[in-house]
Structure 1
C-alpha cells in the first residue's frame, strides 16, 4: 500500500485542529493540543482516540473456534459469547506475526482486530492456514466496513452513559456487546490500550462522525479531550503494553516479551507451540524489560544497552518522557545473562544508569 490512506473522520479531526502524520501508510492525527495535555486528560478524566486504521476480520463457520485455537497462542474455542481475548499469533519458530484481539460473537463467528500495518500480511496468514488445515470456515476482511473509536479514562463510562450508551455501565472488562444507538449499529467493547478503564466502539464509517460528536458533547464538562497517536504511545508505554514491531516482533517471542500468561501450553496444538515449549524448558536467552532513567535525557529506540565494562548486551525498544512523572521511561530487549548486573544506556558516549522497573511506570 504505497498510497497514503485516509480514515473516515479525517475532516472531523482537521476541524478540531489535528496535526497529521503518516503512520503505517495511514494519515493519522498525532496530536491536537499537546501530547502532554492529551496524555494527562486520559489519566485524570478521558480521551477520545480515532483508531479506524486498525483491521477487522470475520472468521465464520463450524470450525471457527478450533481454527483460532490452533492459530493463536491463547485459548479461544471455549470462550463464552461476549468475551474479548488478547493474544499473540506466532510463526512455527515462536516469534510473533501480530498481536490481536479476538471477540467471540457466537460459537461459529468471531471478530478479530489486527494491527493496521499488518492487515495484508495477516489476511494471507489466516487464509493460508485455513486452506492448509482444510477446515469448515470463511475468513473475510471487513476493515473498510468499520470505523473504530476508543474512549479511555476514569470517567469514560460516565461519558458513554451520558451519550446514550447505557450498556457501558453493565459491560465487564474484556467483554463486548452489539447494540443499536440512534439508528446505528455499534459494537461496544470494554478494552483499551492506555492502562485506564475504557471502551472501544466499532461503528460503520457513515455513522462515525455522529457518534464522535455525541461523545464529545457528553464529555465537554467532564474533562474529555481528543487525543492522537502521540498520547496513545506514551500512555501504552507507561502502562507497559506492547507495540508490535517494538516489544513483540518477528524477533521477539511472547515468552521473551513477558506475555507468558497468554500462552496456553495445555491446548492440544497451536502454531509455535513446540518452539515456545523449548524456550520455556531451556531458558530464555533474551527478555524484554522496562526501565526508568534519572535526569531528563530520553533513551530512544535503538539506543544500546551496555554492561559495566561497556559491552553491548541489548537495545532500547521504546523510549519517551513520562508525562505523569517527567521521568524518562522505556523498554529494552536485554540478554538474560546480563540482567543480574548493573545496566546502562549509551547516550552518545555517556553511560546513564538504567533502573529496571515494573509497569505501570507512572505509579
Structure 2
C-alpha cells in the first residue's frame, strides 16, 4: 500500500495500488518499487518465465522535418544515416565537453521522421537540450504525457504476446519495432527491446488505453507465470545484464568511451556535439569494468576501489544478483586495472571487501 502522495501518477497508478505495489517517488513519478512477491521473485520471474513493468514514466519525443536526420547525427554520437523504417538504434548524447547528457533509443518511423525514447529522470533536460541545438527545417515535439509504455520481459514474453497480437504485428529482430499495430482494438507500437537482458517487448500506446492492456496481458499470461514487477527488479535485472544506467555508469563528466560505449561513438562521422572534446581527451585513462565480489559483503554505488595501496576508481552500481547467486558491481577504474582477473578491494562503509575484475556482461541469456 502507498503512503506517498507527492509526484505524478502514471495511467497505471491505481492498478499498482490495488495489486499491492509498494509505491515510491522516482524521477518525479509515483511508481511501484516492488509488489508483495518481492524483488527476488520478480527478478527470477523475468529470468525464467515473464514479468510486466510499467515504464510510462519514460519520455517520448518526435523529431521530424527535412533536416531531422542531419540534426540526429549532430546531436548523437551514433550514426543514423543508413536506417530502415522500424529500425531502432541506441546512442549516447554528449555535451560540448564530451560527457553524456543522456543515453536514448531512436526509432525511424519513415524518412524525415523519428521517434526518440529518453530516460524519465532526464526527460525535460533532454528535450531542452535538443530544442537548444536543433537547427534548420526540423520540428521537435514532446509527446510523453500522451504515451504510456509497458515492458513485457522474459523467456515466455513472446508466447503471451502471440495470444493478444497478430503475428504480422510482432517484430522479429532485436532492436526493431512495428508501428501502427493493434491489440484488442488499441493502437500501439510494439518494439523488440528491453532493459532486462531477456527476450521481450516494450509496447507504446495512448495513456488512456494502458490499464486495459495491462489487465489483458496479466490475464493472458497467467498460465505462463506472468507477474507484475517494480523498479527494484528492473534495476537488479539491468545490473545483472551489465546495462549502464544514466547517473551511475555515465553522467555529464563521464565520456561514453569511458562508460564502455565506444561502439556507439562513430568518430569517423563528420561531426557531432562533443566529438572534438572526446578527441582532445586522448587515450582512455579510466574504463567501466565488472567486479565480482569474492569477499563477504554487498557492494553498492559510489564506493572507493583500491589496489596497490591506492584508490584506483569508484563503483557505479552494485547489488546481489538473484539469478547468478553472487554480488557484483560495475566500476569506473584506472585503465591499468581493467583486465579480468585483477584483484581489487572495495571500501564498504570503512571495511575493505575483496573483489576481482571480470568480463562484462555478468549475465547473457543463452
Q: Shorter-chain TM-score: which interval?
A: over 0.9
In the TM superposition, residue 169 of structure 1 has moved relative to its aligned partner by 4.4
In the TM superposition, residue 3 of structure 1 has moved relative to its aligned partner by 5.5
In the TM superposition, residue 196 of structure 1 has moved relative to its aligned partner by 0.7
Which structure 2 residues correspond to residues 181-260 of structure 1 after superposition, within 5 A?
181-260=183-262
In the TM superposition, residue 359 of structure 1 has moved relative to its aligned partner by 2.6
Name structure 2 gaps, 5 residues minimum: none
In the TM superposition, residue 295 of structure 1 has moved relative to its aligned partner by 4.7
Partner of 2:101: 97
8 Å CA contact retained: 2:164, 2:183: no
Query: In structure 1, what is the Cα distance between the partners aligned to 2:312 and 2:127?
Result: 36
Query: In structure 1, what is the Cα distance between the partners aligned to 2:94 and 2:330?
Result: 21
The 1:296/1:50 distance shift into structure 2, 3 A limit, reads farther
The 1:252/1:165 distance shift into structure 2, 3 A limit, reads farther
Partner of 1:261: 263
Q: Indicate whether 1:13 and 2:19 are aligned.
A: no
Partner of 2:143: 142
**Aligned alpha-carbon RMSD (Å):** 1.6
Query: In structure 2, what is the Cα distance between the partners aligned to 1:264 and 1:79?
Result: 15
The 1:126/1:150 distance shift into structure 2, 3 A limit, reads same
- Aligned to 1:315, the other structure's residue is in SS state strand
The 1:332/1:170 distance shift into structure 2, 3 A limit, reads closer
Which structure 2 residues correspond to residues 274-353 of structure 1 after superposition, within 5 A?
274-279=276-281, 282-309=282-309, 311-339=310-338, 342-353=343-354
Partner of 2:129: 125
Q: Indicate whether 1:28 and 2:31 are aligned.
A: yes
Query: In structure 1, what is the Cα distance between the partners aligned to 2:166 and 2:42?
Result: 24
Query: In structure 2, what is the Cα distance between the partners aligned to 1:165 and 1:31?
Result: 31
Aligned residues between the structures: 356
Instruction: Determine which of 27, 40, 46 is the counterpart of 2:44.
Output: 40
- Aligned to 1:221, the other structure's residue is in SS state helix
Once superposed, which parts of structure 1, at least 4 consecutive aligned residues long, lie more than 6 Å away? Answer: none
Q: Could you list the per-position Cα deviations for residues 4-57 of structure 1 after superposition, in whole angstroms to 9, with x for gaps in the alignment? A: 111110001111110111112111111112100000000001111000000111
Query: In structure 2, what is the Cα distance between the partners aligned to 1:61 and 1:48?
Result: 35
Query: In structure 2, what is the Cα distance between the partners aligned to 1:56 and 1:108?
Result: 17
Name structure 1 gaps, 5 residues minimum: none
Provide TM-score, normalisation by structure 1: 0.94
Provide TM-score, normalisation by structure 2: 0.93
Q: Could you list the per-position Cα deviations for residues 132-175 of structure 1 after superposition, in whole angstroms to 9, with x for gaps in the alignment? A: x3x10110010011000001111111110012343464431100
Q: Which moved more, 1:241-250 or 1:70-79?
A: 70-79
